Amino acid sequence: MKQKLSELKNISPDQIAVGNGSDELIDLIIKVFCEPKKDSIMMMNPSFAMYGFYASVNENRVVKLDLNKDFEMIKDDFLKIANENQLKIFFLCSPNNPTGNSIEDIEFYVKNFNGIVTIDEAYIEFSGKKSSIELLEKYPNLIVLQTFSKAWGMAGARVGVAYASKEIIKLINAVKAPYNVNSLSLDLILKNIDNQKVLNKNLENTLIEKSWLKNELHKIKCIQKVYPSDANFFLIEFKNIEIAYEKLLKKEILTSKRTPQIPDCIRINVGNREENIQLITVLKEIES
C-alpha cells in the first residue's frame, strides 16, 4: 500500500506511515513528541476535538488558539501564543472540522512554529486546493495527515495515512502496534487506488449534491446563516437551534449540534439526493 501511495503522491515509501484511522496517528504523534505531564500541544478553536482528547489522555496540556468570527486564524495571535508557550505540536486542520473552511497561507504557520506542525487534510479532496505534502521537502517539522474515510467513502475501513520526513516516520513506526491495520481494509483500499473511478465518482456526486443542497438551504426560513465550506458538510446557524435539532432527530436525521462552542450552529453532512430532499423537507416544516 505504501508503494501505491508513493506513486500516487509522488513521495518516497519511507515517508509514509499507515494507521488505524487518522485518530491512531494523532495519538502516536503525541506519544512520540510529547512527554506526559510536561509538554503542551496547540490546536485551533473550534476544531477537531480528538487533538485535545488524545493530548489529555496522554497527560499533556492543551493550548487553544481562538479563531475569529469567520473561523480564520489571526497571525498575530498565533505568534503570541506560540512564543509565550513551550509547545511541541500544533494541530492545524484544513479544511477545518467543524467549520468547513480552508486555512489560508498554511506555510506561514509551518515556518513560524518551533515544533511539529501536523496538518490534518481529512477533507482536502473536496476543497480542490493543493495538499501540503508538497511542503514536506522544505519543512522537516511538518506532518500531513490524510484519510480514506471521507472522499474515498471508506470510513468503515479505518485507514489513515501520515506523510512526513523519513526520520519522523521511523519514530511513528517505532511506537505503533505491529498489526494495527487489518488486511481486509488494505485489500479493499489497494483495489480502489488502482481504480481511481471510485474516488472520482464519489467526489463528483458529493460536489453536485453539495451545490444543490447549498442553494436549497439558502431558501429555508429557519436558517440564519450557511457558512462557506470546502468540505462535504455545512455549518449552519439556526434561528432556534433546539427546535431544529429535535425536529431532525425525530425524523432520524442525525446531525452534529455544535453549541455551546459555536452558538446556534449545527453541522450537517451532504448526503445523496434522496437524503438531501428529506433534510430540506423537514427544515421547511420548521417555522422561522
**Distance between CA 90 and CA 117 in Å, rounded?**
5
Taking the CA atoms of 105, 125, 56 and 30 in sequence, report the sign of the dihedral they define. negative
Residue 287: what pLDDT? 76
Residue at 145: amino acid letter:
L
Residue 149: what pLDDT? 95
Residue 288: what pLDDT? 59
CA triple 38-41-44, angle to 5 deg = 155
**Residues of the chain falling short of pLDDT 50:** none
Residue at 228: amino acid letter:
P
How does pLDDT run across 92-137, given as a tens digit for each residue? Answer: 999 999 999 999 999 999 999 999 999 999 999 999 999 999 999 9
Please tell me if the domain spanning 2-194 has the same topology as the one spanning 198-284: no
Q: Kindly write down the DSSP assignment for every residue of 33-55, as one continuous string.
A: H--TTT-EEEEEESS-THHHHHH
Peptide bond into 228 cis (omega under 30): no
Cα-Cα-Cα-Cα torsion 18, 22, 23, 25, nearest 10 degrees, comes to 40
| Cα end-to-end distance, the chain, whole Å | 51
Going from N- to C-terminal start, the domains of the chain cover 2-194, 198-284
**Distance between CA 204 and CA 220 in Å, rounded?**
25
Q: What are phi and psi of 137, to 5 degrees?
A: -65, -30
Domain 198-284 CATH superfamily = Aspartate Aminotransferase, domain 1 (3.90.1150.10)
Contacts of 272 (CB under 8 A, 6+ apart): 205, 209
Closest alpha carbon to 14 in 178, 169, 143: 169
pTM, 2 dp: 0.95
CATH 2.40.340.10 corresponds to the domain 2-194: no
Residue 182: what pLDDT? 94
**Distance between CA 135 and CA 144 in Å, rounded?**
9
**Distance between CA 88 and CA 85 in Å, rounded?**
9
3 state SS of 78: helix
